[in-house]
């Protein structure tokens, strides 16, 4: 009997289905793994933005985590929205006891600019969560929030990576999708452990429906790690998957639509 690799996401819910837990589970299924979830918050969210967010108690997060890990087990974990210092500290403590690789997506704001992480939680992210990460996957806004480094070009991505690595993750994947269009015709990310570096490039697509890109990339990375890939191979495969999902993204609602997590199933690109 085939048992797929098991991947756990610890993140918030997106009621519109484009990001958060929903995007994570779709990505994990599309990449041939069994996705499981620890819900940290509920949001009222659609293509126009986040209309409300309600954090779950730390005891509920801890109970979900222990329920899954102690019975089913995990081969990779991905973290997303952890809105408060208490939740960050709770999850960091839980992750410290898990031998599986961990992908930390330090979610700070939504695609629409809505804050998803309290300012009071930043020290906990820096000092407790990031040290648990096999790979941290901040975008440029999150880099600025965590380190004060503002990136405007590829050279700045190196400075950003060095600053994030100071907090203890083994690898960092700096996502360059927010670079100004004049910075290049490709969407470039930088993967480095401080010793070796890998530039991951893909075409920029003229498609505004990009909701869920960060969650999708981090979940794809976790799924590939669960399947036994090295960090370098997993990051390259995750970049390929999210690029296809971006190219196939579609309009839902009146605002920014989601990336298409099922694009490979239809052979679209």
CB atoms near residue 145 (< 10 Å): 18
First to last CA, the chain: 33
In whole angstroms, give the CA distance from residue 126 to residue 260.
32
- Counting every residue written for the chain, the total comes to 269
Torsion of CA 57, 130, 210, 19, to 10 degrees: -20
Distance CA(87)–CA(158), nearest Å, equals 30
204: which DSSP letter? P
| Catalytic positions | 175, 210, 212-215
Cα separation, 141 vs 145, in Å, equals: 6
Instruction: Tell me 258's DSSP state.
Output: B
Q: Exposed (0-12), middle (13-18) or buried (19+): which is 106, by Cβ within 10 Å?
A: buried
The pairing of beta strand 6-14 with beta strand 76-79? parallel
């Amino acid at each position: 009997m085939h048992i797929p690799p098991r991947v756990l996401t610890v993140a918030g819910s997106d009621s519109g289905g484009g990001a958060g837990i929903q995007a994570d589970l779709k990505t994990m299924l599309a990449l041939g793994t069994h996705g499981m979830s620890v819900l940290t918050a509920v949001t009222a969210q659609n293509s126009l933005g986040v209309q409300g967010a309600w954090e779950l108690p730390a005891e509920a997060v801890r109970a979900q985590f222990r329920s899954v890990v102690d019975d089913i087990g995990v081969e990779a974990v991905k973290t997303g929205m952890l809105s408060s210092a208490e939740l960050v500290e709770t999850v960091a403590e839980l992750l410290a006891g898990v031998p599986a690789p961990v992908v930390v997506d330090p979610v700070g704001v939504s695609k629409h600019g809505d804050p998803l992480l309290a300012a009071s939680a930043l020290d906990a992210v820096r000092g407790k969560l990031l040290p648990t990460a096999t790979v941290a996957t901040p975008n440029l806004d999150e880099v600025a929030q965590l380190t004060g480094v503002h990136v405007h070009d590829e050279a700045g991505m190196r400075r950003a990576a060095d600053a994030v690595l100071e907090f203890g993750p083994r690898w960092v994947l700096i996502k360059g999708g927010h670079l100004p269009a004049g910075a290049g015709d490709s969407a470039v990310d930088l993967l480095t452990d401080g010793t070796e570096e890998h530039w991951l490039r893909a075409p920029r697509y003229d498609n505004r429906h990009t909701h869920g890109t960060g969650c999708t990339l981090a979940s794809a990375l976790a799924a590939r790690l669960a399947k036994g890939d090295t960090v370098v191979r997993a990051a390259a495969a995750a970049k390929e998957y999210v690029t296809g999902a971006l190219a196939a993204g579609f309009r839902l609602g009146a605002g920014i639509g989601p990336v298409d997590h099922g694009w490979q199933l239809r052979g679209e690109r």
